[in-house]
Chains A and B, each alone.
Chain A
Amino acid sequence: MIIKILFTAFIGFAGGLAVGAGFVAFLTVLGIIPRLTQLTKTMKMIHWYEWAVISGAIAGIAASLRDPIFGMHPFVLIPLGLAGGVYVGMLSAALTEVLNVLPILAKRIGMDGEIVMLLMAIVFGKIFGSIFQWVYFIHH
């Protein structure tokens, strides 16, 4: 019995280690935290940002495994949704940048000057796609 428990705990720990390391590696490659510190000039606070990511991940684990209920006002969801959206938006922007899509595309079609317009096409496309999905698509 004790062997079974220890073995299960070990497998769970190993899985958590792999997923956690992968998550942090992904964040590091995309360079979102350096980008945010560069925008706000808060390089000295970078350790706090690390702990924000770690405690956020742990809070997410707790919420998804234990189903707590807080009974707060629904308006609390507005900043949460906004923060989540900004985070996913930055992830996808960083991913686009890593893949080097925009510079090559802009150069190919001779629009080096209008790259902001191309960027806006992607931004509005994402907003439109997301709103369309939540308001219409999934309910039909």
Chain B
Amino acid sequence: MWGVNVLEKTIYLRMRQRVQVRPDEVVILKDMAQIIAPENIVASLEDMVIHRVSKQDQSIVIIDVMKVIGIITNLYKGAEIQTIGPAQTIIEVIYKKKGVSVPFFLLIWFLLFFGSALAIMNFHDDVSMRSVQEKIFTIITGRHESKPFLFQIPYSIGLGLGMILFFNHVFRKRINEEPSPLEVEMFNYQQDLDNYVIINENKESFKRLHDH
């Protein structure tokens, strides 16, 4: 029966990747980790204060699992803790719900709009698309035409259609539920940022010379 006794003492912790809190909030263990523990201590574990968000914290705080283990073993001497998953949690302090300003958004929108219009025109000029299109018109119909609109207008519409198809925004529900490349790219970028702050905002991850 000793095996059962050993198992009962173990506390399993799985840190969450990212937690959003308000300024001046108290972060308790339940917010930042999933816990499996013996029934008699699980409630007090869940409400254990890990961090108080203060003004100096700015917008990102990294809580290392070592700090959590330290706090728990302070209270429960000899507790056996098993950690699973991420070794730290990113606490993101949300100061105020920032709305997107409309003029700013319109500025960016028209920047992208005219930027891509100019870029595609330069591309067409660069690859001499006009002469290629006139040649295609001649090959297909046998006539010469300096304004082959019948080719050019479908081409222009297809251009936009191809971009939408690639990013799969219109047909997402109909064709399949896989994430679009853009969503994967957003995720990867966020992951890279998280990795950066995990290492650079965590004082424990560096040991420098002359570090007082």
Contact = CB atoms under 8 A, between A and B. Distances in A.
Interface of A: 32, 35, 38-41, 63-64, 67-94, 97, 100, 102-107, 109-112, 114-119, 121-135, 137-139
Interface size class of B (residues with CB under 8 A): 35 or more
B95 interface: no
Q: Chain B contact residues: over half helix, strand or loop, or mixed? A: helix
Contacts of A71: 141-142
Contacts of B150: 74-75, 77-78, 81
A114 B105 contact: yes
A137 B147 CA distance: 12
Interface string B141-161: 110000111111111111111
A122 B116 contact: yes
A109 B124 CA distance: 30
B8 interface: no
B158 A85 contact: yes
Contacts of A77: 136-137, 140-141, 148, 150-151, 154
Contacts, number: 224
29 contacts: A32-B166, A39-B176, A69-B139, A69-B142, A70-B142, A73-B141, A74-B137, A75-B150, A76-B140, A77-B137, A77-B140, A77-B150, A85-B161, A85-B162, A89-B162, A90-B163, A91-B162, A93-B162, A93-B163, A116-B169, A119-B167, A119-B182, A125-B116, A126-B159, A126-B163, A129-B117, A130-B124, A130-B159, A134-B153
Given A69-B139, A134-B149, A35 B160 contact: no
B113 A121 contact: yes
Nearest to A87: B162
Contacts of B156: 85, 127, 130-131, 134
Interface in B107-124: 108-110, 112-121, 123-124
